[in-house]
Amino acid sequence: MLRWKYSRPFLATLLALLALAPILGGNPLAQPGLQQTLAVAFIYGGLALTYDLLFGFTGLLSFGHAIYFGSGMYITCILINHNVVPWYLAMVIAISITALLAMLVGMASLRTTGITFAMVTLAFGEAGHVIINRNFFGLTGGENGIALDATKVPQFWIGVVNTKYLYWTALLALIIVYAIIWWITESSAGRVFAALRDNELRVQVLGLDTQKFKLLSFVIAGSLASFLGVIMLLAAGSAAPRFADANLTIALLLMVILGGAVTRWGAVIGGILYSVATTRMQDLTQQPFFTDMPKIIGGPLSEPALTLGILFILVVMFAPGGLSGAYYKLRARAIAKK
């Protein structure tokens, strides 16, 4: 088992390897295909971490988190495509507007708590998704989404040869989000977040404005999600409704629960594994092994959601800590043995 004093050098080596792999050559990461898959996976890893800040660290079960990711994507894409502002300003404006949006939605929905809060955020999130689908003023492109005008962003992000720059950008975005969330959850505000999750009444008795702290967590998670949405716009090359719907939020929930909440790295690993797994499973289910099976078994099995759903139910029922929880449990057992 990995001990704390070894885990930092281990992490540093891992990051260095991940960062250098595309230029070293002679490994699978020198291929644009895997770079693209991992770039997307890093973004989902970061997004899962922002969800962990809300759900794991603050105890706010939001079902509308994807809308902030989508909002970052769409606003950036619209501003760039219509020549309103240069690309870097578009990104800043998109993140600011999303932060404001998260604040407004947070102010309304945080009047409720617990399970009701989950319902309300779901309703707001879906409303946003519906608005995107309706294609008001032809801005959002309806169900097809909108393609990013590739001529208006720096060219090193565009094209298959340049996938490695995209890969580095995504990796950097993940590191930035990780650092910010690490800093927040270890700060005194982070302690209040955890206290809110464990015993809200107690925090109130201590004289702290609980609403303000919850809103802070909500807005930070939303803004970071929109930042990752901006990066995803570059990686996907377009903004589409599937990046803003409740299914994505549910996927985030799966990532955090399967990876393990409140450990930070659990959510990131969960997000990366989930993202890679769903991409790979689609290829896998086209294999003869699956297509030759009778439809009554092969049909449902070829849907990744079935396997993930069953795994999810089992983890929630029997192993609530997820992957990282299991790791810590094993480590505690190993230490106790000594």
Partner 1 sequence: MSTFLLILITGIGLGALYFLVASGLSLIYGLMGVLNFAHGAFLTVGAFFGFWYAKQSGFMITTPKFLLSMLIGGLGAGAFALLMEQLIIARMYERHVDQALVTVGVALVVGAALGGWFGNDLVLYPTPPYFLNGVNIAGAIIPADRFFYIGTALILLIANWALLKFTRIGLIIRAGVENRNMVAALGINVRRAFSTVFFLGGFAAGVGGVLISVYSNGVSPLIAGQYLIYGFIVVVIGGMGSVPGSFIAAMMIGVIRQFANYYVTGLGDFVVVILLAGVLLIRPQGLLGKAAA
Nearer to partner 1, 74 or 165 (CB): 74
* Minimum distance from residue 28 beta carbon to partner 1 (Å): 30
Distance between CA 246 and CA 119 in Å, rounded?
A: 11
The helix or strand, by DSSP H or E, that contains position 146, with its residue range, turns out to be strand 146-147
CB of 217 to partner 1, least distance (A): 16
Cβ–Cβ contacts within 10 Å for residue 239, how many?
28
Rank residues 73 and 132 by Cβ distance to partner 1 and give the closer one.
132
Closest separation in Å from C-beta 51 to partner 1: 13
Residue number with CB closer to partner 1 (29 or 52): 52
Shorter beta-carbon distance to partner 1: residue 187 or 199: 199
Q: Which is nearer to partner 1, 197 or 331 (CB)?
A: 197
Cβ 236 to partner 1 shortest distance, Å: 23
Which segments of the chain does DSSP mark as H helices, in order?
4-24, 32-52, 66-81, 87-109, 114-134, 163-186, 188-198, 200-205, 210-236, 246-259, 265-284, 288-291, 295-301, 304-318, 322-337
| Of residues 19 and 277, the one with the C-beta less far from partner 1 | 277
In the complex, what is the shortest distance from the CB of residue 148 to partner 1, in angstroms, rounded to a whole number?
A: 24
Least distance (Å) between residue 126 CB and partner 1: 5
**Which residue's entry shows tokens 């991940």?**
18
C-alpha dist (Å) from residue 6 to 1, 10, 225 = 10, 6, 31
Mapped onto helix, strand or coil, the DSSP state of residue 31 is coil
**In contact, 102 and 124? CB cutoff 8 Å:** no
Closest Cα to residue 176, out of 43, 14, 38, 39? 43
Interface positions with partner 1 (CB under 8 A): 61, 108-109, 111-116, 118-120, 122-124, 126-127, 130-131, 134, 136, 246, 250, 253, 257, 295-296, 298-306, 308-310, 312-313, 316-317, 320
